Amino acid sequence: MEPHTFLLQLLIILVAARVVGELVATLGAPSVIGELLAGIIIGPSLLAWVEPNEPIRVLAEIGVILLLFEVGLETDMGKLLNVGRKATMVALGGFITPFLFGYGVTYFLFQQSMLVSLFVGGTLTATSIGITVRTLTDVHRQNSPEGQITLGAAVLDDLFGVILLAILYEFSMTGEINWINTFKVLAYISIFFLTAPVLAKLMSSVIGKLDKRIDNPGLIPVTIVSLVLFFAWLAHLFGAPELLGGFAAGLALSRRFFLPFGLTVKTDTAFARKIESQMKPIVQLFTPIFFVMIGLSLDLRQVDWGSWFFWGMSLTLAIVAIGSKFAGALLIAEPFPRRIVVGMAMVPRGEVGLIFAGLGSAAGVIRGDMYTSLIMVIAYTTLLSPFWIKLYYRRFGRFT
Amino acid sequence: MEPHTFLLQLLIILVAARVVGELVATLGAPSVIGELLAGIIIGPSLLAWVEPNEPIRVLAEIGVILLLFEVGLETDMGKLLNVGRKATMVALGGFITPFLFGYGVTYFLFQQSMLVSLFVGGTLTATSIGITVRTLTDVHRQNSPEGQITLGAAVLDDLFGVILLAILYEFSMTGEINWINTFKVLAYISIFFLTAPVLAKLMSSVIGKLDKRIDNPGLIPVTIVSLVLFFAWLAHLFGAPELLGGFAAGLALSRRFFLPFGLTVKTDTAFARKIESQMKPIVQLFTPIFFVMIGLSLDLRQVDWGSWFFWGMSLTLAIVAIGSKFAGALLIAEPFPRRIVVGMAMVPRGEVGLIFAGLGSAAGVIRGDMYTSLIMVIAYTTLLSPFWIKLYYRRFGRFT
């Protein structure tokens, strides 16, 4: 591909995201839906102006890593740890229930093989952390108690998902489950999350010192993006999703970071503010590419719209996918409206669901109508959830 | 390529550029040399950690377009037009002389075919506008009279280069020169440069109005980058180099833009300042990728270091390449030291030279030792010129 072809594609992505995002916002819906729709419109499903390709995929990946970095930067670690037990309950309930029901419906009702049913169950466990945090930011509720619980639950869900995916993939290849490997993955991920923020904090205070001494321009954008990329890569190395590396780096650089056991690394507030203001335009440039990419990846061309199996499967699974995500949320000790919002915020499957379905397809397990049904379920849940959340707040106000 | 592989490569590029850049700056040399060296070190020439690939090439291209955008943003159009005649003289002299001498030396002294000699001459006409403006910025002389003259001359040289390249390429394919096509290219490029800044100015005032009405975050980074990409793409469409599209957009958005014939589009200074502050981190993030990419592309692995032809050719051509670029500069009516600086600033061939040599290689004209000799000449001129300029200023002060 010639560079100018790519420039045009990037231009189309950025402009479409902005225009459809603004239109949708004018109609009262969250602008993230507009960005997802923009991807569906300009992508293979409709106009086919832009096909997902490698450079765009890479920019989208950087986009979601930077998004999670920014979320981490704005997160109050104390608050997040305070809601830890509730978030765990939401995550566990919203992971096990969709898995069991997704498996059960596919296996018993639609009479698919065990392996297919396992992958369908796995796909339904996903929570799109990207869509979830963006939706809550769109309605300015990312720092509310329900925002904190959802964020924590989505992070945990992403970790459970990675472990399940590793198990399923191995099972589909070898027919066995290696519990020692699973335990190793778990151990590595735990090590990563215990050490990464501390390491990131130490590295950031080195950057802060350099910032005082170096007058060559561009130190902060280059070093902070490098730091984020490093932790994303490190997360991958330890078996965790890359975007959680971005989140860990953001947490560490936030003004509200603290170390356990009363250990302290002084947070330089002026430096933290400088990071926030210089990183914001970069994050804002990259993140729309991520949401458009999800839309581009929801390839609806392959759907056989006349297939009874497709409609039956996708609608049944959609009901299961939506209902089962409330399982954990409804159990927590919070006012009822808050439980509802948390449940709704866990519904979108987004990019994580696409990874599950894509891997099932690559392993030759998920095919034809089964694959398009899953894509449709991902589309339903991803597009509807942000909409409900906005409507719900409008109807019931901002309960505290 | 998996996304995490690319994340690691981007990380290596950014960190290497910064570290080698700072080291070189500590030793008193311009940091751009460090970024070029970083590319040579991590690239195929030495460590081979990073091979040039498509996503990096695309990011590098965006980098140089954004760099030229920023240069345009900081350019005073009045000053640039005032030095127009001198810049034209520098550009013409620094274009025709290297072409004739490069051709002559290759044809008569080294007894190469006419086609080879034409391509060598063409490669020597190049001026790396990226290296030139970056070097002058490193020594804080981008707004000096010599800075303005060099900028204008480098822009013109880039235009002459595109036209010559089109002619040479056609000649190498068909054996003829189609003067009507050449005239068309010239006409299109002229139309682009007469209309693009006006169009960009009008579009930016629309963005300025939207900025007052829209409260969704991220308007400026997304729309301004889109604007820059649009003009880069448009420039390509009209047959001009993409980076000059970025330059035209920057000129139009600068606080010192004016229209001819006394027509006015009011410049909103607060908005212009907002653009500058939000675009700066983005530009600073992307531009090092461009300079590292030049280093990555200078693949010295293929050089046969024991070849007499290689040493004879590359050293002879280097002398021609350096000496001939002063031809135009020495003729202008400016103090002698300023003429010297302008001449030195025109020397680096950088990315433009690589395009010429690469096209000659793709056309099957430039091969083997001839190709590596040209690469070496590009390396000499690109790495030495920023160094001389800095030394010259240190020795002779900042003459005014």
pLDDT at A261: 63
- Give me the residue from B11, B17, B22 closest to A229, CB to CB: B11
| Alpha carbons A118 and A113: distance in angstroms, whole number | 9
| Alpha carbons A155 and A113: distance in angstroms, whole number | 31
CA A173, A179, A184, A190 dihedral sign is: positive
Calculate the CA A68 to chain-centre distance.
Answer: 8
SS3 B228: helix
- Give me the residue from A57, A216, A279 closest to B25, CB to CB: A216
DSSP characters over B73-116: HT--HHHHHHTHHHHHHHHHHHHHHHHHHHHHIIIIIS---HHH
A316 vs chain B: nearest CA distance in angstroms?
Answer: 34
Number of domains in chain B: 1
Question: Tens digit of pLDDT for each residue in B186-237?
Answer: 899 999 988 998 899 899 889 988 888 877 788 999 999 999 999 999 999 9
- Are A3 and B61 inside 8 Å of each other by CB? yes
Helices (H) and strands (E) in chain A, counts: 17, 0
> Residues near B99 by Cβ (< 8 Å), separated by ≥ 6?
B121, B122, B124, B125, B164
Residue B331 exposed, middle or buried by CB count within 10 Å (0-12, 13-18, 19+) = middle
Question: Tens digit of pLDDT for each residue in A283-321?
Answer: 999 999 999 999 999 888 889 999 999 999 999 999 999
What is the helix (H) or strand (E) element at residue A173, kind and residue range? helix A145-174
Question: Tens digit of pLDDT for each residue in A95-106?
Answer: 999 999 999 999
pLDDT at B13: 97
| Alpha carbons B105 and B111: distance in angstroms, whole number | 8
The Cβ of residue A115 has, within 10 Å, a number of other Cβ atoms equal to 17
- Give me the residue from B7, B57, B221 closest to A281, CB to CB: B221
Which residues numbered 252-311 in A keep a CB inside 8 Å of some CB on B? 278-282, 284-285, 287-288
Q: Categorize the per-residue pLDDT at A17 as very low, low, confident or very high, splitting at 50, 70 and 90.
A: very high
pLDDT at B79: 86
Q: Find the range with the poorest average confidence among A231-245, A258-272, B162-176, B244-258.
A: A258-272
The closest of B193, B279, B232 to B61, measured between CA atoms, is: B232
SS3 A43: coil
pLDDT at B47: 95
Helices (H) and strands (E) in chain B, counts: 17, 0
- Give me the residue from B11, B214, B221 closest to A285, CB to CB: B221
CB A153, CB A346: distance < 8 Å: yes
Residues spanned by the domain of B99:
3-396
Tell me the CATH number at A90: 1.20.1530.20
Q: Categorize the per-residue pLDDT at A34 as very low, low, confident or very high, splitting at 50, 70 and 90.
A: very high
Q: Categorize the per-residue pLDDT at A254 as very low, low, confident or very high, splitting at 50, 70 and 90.
A: confident
B7 vs chain A: nearest CA distance in angstroms?
Answer: 6
B27 touching chain A per CB within 8 A: no
CB B31, CB A263: distance < 8 Å: no
| Alpha carbons A225 and A281: distance in angstroms, whole number | 12
A331 touching chain B per CB within 8 A: no
Intervals of chain B under pLDDT 50: none
